[in-house]
Structure 1
Amino acid sequence: MALIEIQLSKSLARALRLPRKSPQRQQLKVLRKLLKKARFTEFGQEYRFDEILLSRHPGKKFQEMVPTFDYNKIHAAWWNKTLEGKADVCWPGKIKYYALSSGTSEAGSKFIPITNDLLRGNRIVMIKQLLTLRTYRDIPVKSLGKGWLMIGGSTSLQKGAGYYSGDLSGITARKVPFWFQPFYKPGKKIARTKDWTKKLEEVVRLAPQWDIGFLVGVPGWIQLCMEKIVERYNLNNIHEIWPNVGFFVHGGVSFEPYRKGFEKLLGKPVTYIETYLASEGFIAYQDVQNSRGMRLVTNQHIFLEFVPFDNRNFDADGNLVENPEVYMIHEVEEGRDYALLLSTSAGAWRYLIGDTVRFVDKERCEIIITGRTKHFLSLVGEHLSVDNMNKAVQLVTEELNLSITEFTVAGIPHGLFFAHQWWLGCSDQADEALLRQKIDDKLKELNDDYAVERDSALKDIYVKVLPEEKFMEFMRLKGKIGGQHKFPRVLKGKMLLDWQKYLETGSI
């Protein structure tokens, strides 16, 4: 062990000569820490982690020796053994917790390993994020010591053969530190409730008893909770019952489509804080007030790699090709979309998480989430991303003074060609023909490929306005109701068939 450390320190000092706090240096330090911890596991022995650690360029050697994985590939080869109770497979020890994650398109649940090392890293990142609040201007100081309403999954986990599984938010809430418990709402008893409707009813019932300063959760579900409280107590806005609400910590989806409807429920401005906390780990967070994006966590518990999201590296269905082009953090470019590969302190190795990001400030490692590798529309080369869709909806809602709380899009046949079908969740009076025109126009401005194809093989777009409750009810029927579940922005395959059946019959 000492020999390895001496060799690493000398070789890195000579070969790299990096500034102490450079993201590249931080990431290589994280990689070495992960490799050293896991080198005696089955995975570490298979891919010769000791040899990688002794290399003069461990990052490049790691990429040469360890293949990339998606969920199906790593589960079939490695993670399935941990579900059978085997220890020291991809990470030292037995895996006692799994986050159930189906994303927004997959049919079956994914079992993502969760370890104490990962949860510890997540907590450290959360504390670091809280410390950045001191740099914010005019923050509501009174809110800092008030309650945190965290709307997430049930802490009552499913018991398997030697392990527990459930939402990451449920696992995290179950392990809330003792010092945080007085601030944590709705409290452990309600947090254990599996029935989302009953949980929401309890939150609404107890709302007058709490003094909330922070709201934490996916925008759609937090908005629904506030709407129910405002309706139940005949309020004008949420600040009439919780005057100290000063922060909304959100993540998972773009907030912009929700902003207008969300702010209608407020009596005064709040500070928005965006986070990127996935089942696989805490990846990024907003550390500067009103910043364009979130800063990647480069010095804690996740080693990041970036695959250009293009036709060379992904097939038409969004699957990663063999031997893709992969970059480390110092090799990326601003303004280009990348799919993320993660190596984590829970035994994920070069793992395709399924999200795509774009660097908006490379020097600060600041990114925005642009979509999912399988959530895009390119029937005829229009290359329409979720980021394009979010931006178009945001611009249209601002222009028409509407609140569109949810939306989804699908590609459909149009004679010998194709069209896009949009479904918009809106409780305001809305003109479908005007929305169709406006969304189409905005997308043409945002995306040159889309504009070209609208004059060619993409013959039309259709817009259908639905009550926002339709989207929530569909998620309930799919068993995806709750704090961590998001409605997919692009529908394909079975999810599209189920959605079309639901709209026709009310069932799936």
Structure 2
Amino acid sequence: MATKAFFNSMVNWFIGRRIDQIKHFIKHPYETQREVLFSQLFIAEGTEYGQKYGFKSISSISDFQSRVPLVSYEDFEPYIEKSRQGIPDIIWPGQIKYFAKSSGTTNAKSKFIPITENSLEDCHYKAGKDLIALYVNNHPESELFQHKNLRLGGSSEMYQNFKTKFGDLSAILIENLPYWVEVINIPSKKVSLMGEWESKLKAIITEIKNQDVGSLTGVPSWMMVLLQRLLKETPVENIGNLWPNLEVFFHGGISFIPYRQQYQKLMGREINYYEIYNASEGFFAIQDRSGAEDMLLMLDYGIFYEFIPMELFGQDQARTLVLEEVEVGKNYAVVLTTNGGLWRYLIGDTVKFTSTNPYRIKISGRTKHYINAFGEELMIDNVEIALKKACESTHAQIIDYTGAPIYMKENETGAHEWIIEFYKKPFDMESFVSIFDEALKSLNSDYEAKRYNNITLKRPIVHQARPQLFYDWMNSRGKLGGQNKVPRLSNDREYIEPLLAMNQ
């Protein structure tokens, strides 16, 4: 009892201390971000990149923006390749030992994102602690520390390259976790790092089905696959009966909107759901309020943020905005300067601010995952809300989907074509499509204008996918499990054509 009391007092002390620090950056966002930037510039002024762009003499944020270029992965890749060869002091002091391999959405086949000791400790691991701190601060009655956390990470092992290692981000995080963290996580490190997805699923189920689980952490789509298979191998009706102490699912990677109803059914009772926003490049935001649909932008993780209004994205000399310049409700492309050695790096995500006091965001899409073949500027957040309305009205539930344009031909207007895999089919497909279409019109004035009298866009074309279509397609691409995601939108037909072919 004395040991437990001491542990609880230490946990409460840490949580209280960290909550105070979070309140500080909420109160002083601009000072916090300025301190982050100039700390990074000071640390890296002696690197090859720092000397090239004169980090030592940068005296203001505007000076930094005018002197250091915006870069995509392709622009920055030569510096990353030097670092991958073990050459020190290229983009960050010393030798960078780890690189997170990510397919991403760049033109490169694979991205290798640098992971420094600073980014591990001051960003990724710090965020993991903050997630718990914010959750327990909202739920002081929580018994999270008395039960296991089921994590479902990537399916990649670590590989050696010269003097450096690369692999899935989750593999790097797991390899470097302290022992005491491993004690509360399941499955074991060995199983977590298995490469082949189907074998890994079986091994995970064997390890977890008799455990006492209090929390889940992972991507909603892949966690659902695991939990559905787990139920097939146990005599219980739902996950809530299997794990009576389960209280929260920490999720990220994709929108939770299409999965919420299915999780409620899987659980058989109410649990808490907390969203996170992270990537190989860093950890950015955490849901800080129960039931909220936005996340608190974390400003003291060694990441300096800039934002490009999406109406200006892709234009030469487009000016980036800092926090004090952003507006609620607008879409912005995210630019990062990180303690992982990335400098004014376009991550490819778009966000929308829901509040500027404090700074809270929602992920609205990807700079390359949208449909704008006819000037409609359709983003993922529009689609998710419209699909939710269509599902609610027709009692449908969705597993996965993707959409793409049908281009105009002679004497023919264009359209959007969708392929949707339903967990529960709509009671009337025509009604589903009509409600979806009308909801998109109400959410997006550009889409509404293009749909007017079918002048530019016809009514959406929606195909029902056969069972497991998206799973089979991802398998055919070698992208099962982990952080792999089904592309929701595309401005071309790269994804939808093979899906339609496999759906026959």
TM surpasses 0.5: yes
SS state at 2:43 partner: helix
Letter in 2 for 1:422: W
SS state at 1:100 partner: strand
Q: Does 1:127 align with 2:129?
A: yes
How far is 1:505 from its partner? 5.0
Rounded Cα–Cα distance in structure 2 between residues aligned with 1:145 and 1:264: 25
How far is 1:300 from its partner? 2.4
Structure 2 counterpart of 1:15: none
Kindly report which structure 2 residues correspond to 1:58-137, keeping only aligned pairs within 5 A, or say none.
58-76=60-78, 78-103=79-104, 108-121=109-122, 122-137=124-139
| Alpha-carbon distance change, 444 to 196 in structure 1, aligned in 2, over 3 angstroms | same
Rounded Cα–Cα distance in structure 2 between residues aligned with 1:190 and 1:159: 20
How far is 1:73 from its partner? 0.6
Letter in 1 for 2:255: S
Listed one character per residue, the Cα deviations across residues 337-393 of structure 1 (whole Å, up to 9, x for unaligned) are 111100011110000000000110111110000000011111111111100011111
| Alpha-carbon distance change, 235 to 106 in structure 1, aligned in 2, over 3 angstroms | farther
Letter in 2 for 1:390: E
Could you tell which deviates more after superposition, 456-465 or 338-347?
Answer: 456-465
Structure 2 counterpart of 1:179: 180
Rounded Cα–Cα distance in structure 2 between residues aligned with 1:124 and 1:503: 43
Rounded Cα–Cα distance in structure 2 between residues aligned with 1:500 and 1:436: 20
Rounded Cα–Cα distance in structure 2 between residues aligned with 1:284 and 1:22: 17
SS state at 2:154 partner: coil
Rounded Cα–Cα distance in structure 2 between residues aligned with 1:220 and 1:143: 23
How far is 1:256 from its partner? 0.6
Question: Contact 1:409/1:489 (CA < 8 Å) preserved in 2?
Answer: yes
Structure 2 counterpart of 1:467: 466
Structure 2 counterpart of 1:313: 313
Q: 1:428 aligns with which of 400, 424, 429?
A: 424
Question: Contact 1:275/1:285 (CA < 8 Å) preserved in 2?
Answer: yes
Structure 2 counterpart of 1:334: 328
Structure 2 counterpart of 1:41: 47
Residues matched between the structures, number: 475
How far is 1:237 from its partner? 0.7
Structure 2 counterpart of 1:440: 437
| Alpha-carbon distance change, 116 to 70 in structure 1, aligned in 2, over 3 angstroms | same
Kindly report which structure 2 residues correspond to 1:61-460, keeping only aligned pairs within 5 A, or say none.
61-76=63-78, 78-103=79-104, 108-121=109-122, 122-137=124-139, 141-154=142-155, 156-310=157-311, 312-314=312-314, 321-416=315-410, 417-430=413-426, 431-455=428-452, 456-460=455-459
Rounded Cα–Cα distance in structure 1 between residues aligned with 2:465 and 2:296: 36
SS state at 1:374 partner: coil
Rounded Cα–Cα distance in structure 2 between residues aligned with 1:307 and 1:468: 40
| Alpha-carbon distance change, 107 to 237 in structure 1, aligned in 2, over 3 angstroms | farther
Rounded Cα–Cα distance in structure 1 between residues aligned with 2:490 and 2:447: 18
How far is 1:164 from its partner? 1.4
Rounded Cα–Cα distance in structure 2 between residues aligned with 1:237 and 1:254: 23
| Alpha-carbon distance change, 236 to 155 in structure 1, aligned in 2, over 3 angstroms | same
Question: Contact 1:217/1:249 (CA < 8 Å) preserved in 2?
Answer: yes
Rounded Cα–Cα distance in structure 2 between residues aligned with 1:143 and 1:499: 42
Rounded Cα–Cα distance in structure 2 between residues aligned with 1:300 and 1:19: 11
Letter in 2 for 1:36: F
Letter in 1 for 2:136: R
Listed one character per residue, the Cα deviations across residues 420-462 of structure 1 (whole Å, up to 9, x for unaligned) are 0011111323343232212111111111111111122112310
What RMSD, in angstroms, separates the aligned Cα atoms of the two structures?
A: 2.0
How far is 1:21 from its partner? 4.1
Letter in 2 for 1:475: M
| Alpha-carbon distance change, 186 to 390 in structure 1, aligned in 2, over 3 angstroms | same
Question: Contact 1:147/1:212 (CA < 8 Å) preserved in 2?
Answer: yes
Letter in 2 for 1:489: R
TM-score, structure 2 as length reference: 0.90
Q: Does 1:51 align with 2:70?
A: no
> Which runs of 5 or more residues in structure 2 are unaligned?
1-23
Rounded Cα–Cα distance in structure 1 between residues aligned with 2:193 and 2:157: 5
Letter in 2 for 1:295: L
SS state at 2:209 partner: helix
Rounded Cα–Cα distance in structure 2 between residues aligned with 1:40 and 1:356: 32
Letter in 2 for 1:33: S
Could you tell which deviates more after superposition, 242-251 or 141-150?
Answer: 141-150
Question: Contact 2:154/2:168 (CA < 8 Å) preserved in 1?
Answer: yes
What percent identity do the matched residue pairs reach?
Answer: 35
| Alpha-carbon distance change, 234 to 401 in structure 1, aligned in 2, over 3 angstroms | farther
Rounded Cα–Cα distance in structure 2 between residues aligned with 1:249 and 1:21: 26
Letter in 2 for 1:487: V
